[in-house]
Every structure is written in structure tokens, then in C-alpha cells.
């Protein structure tokens, strides 16, 4: 009897080892979640993941535009139609190349500064530990069909000269067209006035 138990245990281990291979864990498996968020359209996974743009903030000081200089813009919150796209920071800027002065608690220059933004789609929950977490993940998984949408920048944060952070709400929006098999989209530049 003990011999039969050992044989059954060995057969069971062999069956488990051969039934689960690396190929079963590829991105096509319905049981594996790919943490590199993809936007879905139709029955296929598109590679559309990024929206690229520039933000050029400015202050109006005595009728003249002054451009704030900071390492990067923070917490840029965006939406596509009514769905949250994510919150990112702009790429870093080397502010030492500008002649700066302090005006209304901002380090500013007379030269326009365009902050580059690469906004990859973000899902709020990427770890599933139970059925409830998986359901939340599915609810947060945005599905964009090929077509036209409205992209909005809701707000961003900027660091003042004294190190404090100012939240800057915006009304900036542009149309966004998604085409099948499109990886990303450059949508332009946003010149946004900051109220000191």
C-alpha cells in the first residue's frame, strides 16, 4: 500500500509539472494579467498606450508673460471622455540654462518653457489577490475602440520658489483620434495661464 501511495504521488507531481508550462503563462492566457496595461479595441489588443504633449505654463505680470521654471510639473491629471487616464509628472527640465528671477513666489524667465509629458495609460489596481480585486481591475480597465475622443488635462501641480506646491486647474482639452494598431498619439501643446 505504501508503494502505491509513492507511485500515485510521483504521477501526480509529473502531471502537475507537465500541465503548466511557460507557454501557458503568456499574455494570451485568460488567467494571467499583463501589468503593461493595453488598451483594448474590438477583439484585439491594441498597442495604444501613450499620449504625448507639451504644457507651457505662464504667469501674466503687468501685461507680460513670464514662464515658471521648475524641475518638472507634478500630478498632471488627465481624462479621456469621462474616464481617468492617469496622473503623471512631466519629464525633467534643466532650469540652470535659463536666466531666472523670482516673481510672485515663482522662479520665472522671459523664455517660453515647454514641459514634455509622456502619459501612459494607468490602471489603479494592478495586483489581484482575490475575486473582488479582480472585479475592480476589470471595472478600471478602459476600453477604447478606434474612433474619436475628448482628451482633457484637469490639473497639474507646480513648485513655487519657496518649495510649496500650487495646484493649477485647467480647462485644456483637445480631440484625440485612436486608430487600430496605433501605439500612441502626439496631441500638441497647451499654453496654460497660472493664477499666482
Average pLDDT, the chain: 78
Neighbours of 156 (CB within 10 A): 29
**Are the beta carbons of 57 and 67 closer than 8 angstroms?**
yes
User: Over the stretch 76-117, which tens digit does the pLDDT of each residue have?
Assistant: 999 998 888 889 999 999 999 999 999 999 999 999 999 999
User: Over the stretch 148-174, which tens digit does the pLDDT of each residue have?
Assistant: 999 999 999 999 999 999 999 999 999
Given this model, what pLDDT does residue 72 score? Answer: 97
What gap in Å lies between CA 102 and CA 111, rounded to an integer? Answer: 14
Neighbours of 76 (CB within 10 A): 24
Cβ-in-10-Å burial (0-12, 13-18, 19+) of 64 comes to exposed
**Are the beta carbons of 91 and 117 closer than 8 angstroms?**
yes
C-alpha cell of residue 118: 509622456
Given this model, what pLDDT does residue 157 score? Answer: 98
Arithmetic mean of pLDDT, 15-31: 46
* pLDDT over 50 (residue 31): no
* 88 vs 23, more confident: 88
C-alpha cell of residue 188: 500638441
What gap in Å lies between CA 142 and CA 57, rounded to an integer? Answer: 29
User: Over the stretch 110-139, which tens digit does the pLDDT of each residue have?
Assistant: 999 999 999 988 765 445 555 665 555 444
Q: How far is CA 102 from CA 108, 169, 195, in A?
A: 6, 22, 15
Amino acid at each position: 500500500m505504501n508503494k502505491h501511495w509513492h507511485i500515485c504521488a510521483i504521477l501526480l507531481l509529473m502531471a502537475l509539472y507537465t500541465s503548466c508550462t511557460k507557454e501557458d503563462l503568456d499574455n494570451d492566457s485568460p488567467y494571467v494579467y499583463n501589468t503593461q496595461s493595453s488598451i483594448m479595441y474590438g477583439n484585439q489588443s491594441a498597442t495604444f498606450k501613450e499620449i504625448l504633449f507639451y504644457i507651457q505654463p505662464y504667469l501674466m505680470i503687468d501685461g507680460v508673460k513670464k514662464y515658471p521654471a521648475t524641475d518638472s510639473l507634478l500630478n498632471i491629471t488627465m481624462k479621456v471622455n469621462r474616464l481617468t487616464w492617469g496622473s503623471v509628472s512631466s519629464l525633467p527640465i534643466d532650469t540652470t540654462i535659463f536666466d531666472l528671477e523670482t516673481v510672485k513666489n515663482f522662479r520665472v524667465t522671459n523664455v517660453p518653457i515647454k514641459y514634455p509629458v509622456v502619459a501612459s495609460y494607468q490602471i489603479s489596481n494592478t495586483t489581484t489577490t482575490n475575486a473582488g480585486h479582480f472585479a475592480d481591475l476589470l471595472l478600471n480597465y478602459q476600453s477604447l475602440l478606434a474612433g474619436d475622443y475628448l482628451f482633457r488635462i484637469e490639473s497639474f501641480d507646480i513648485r513655487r520658489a519657496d518649495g510649496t506646491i500650487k495646484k493649477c486647474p485647467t480647462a485644456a482639452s483637445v480631440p484625440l483620434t485612436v486608430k487600430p494598431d496605433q501605439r500612441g498619439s502626439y496631441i500638441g501643446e497647451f499654453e496654460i495661464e497660472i493664477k499666482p
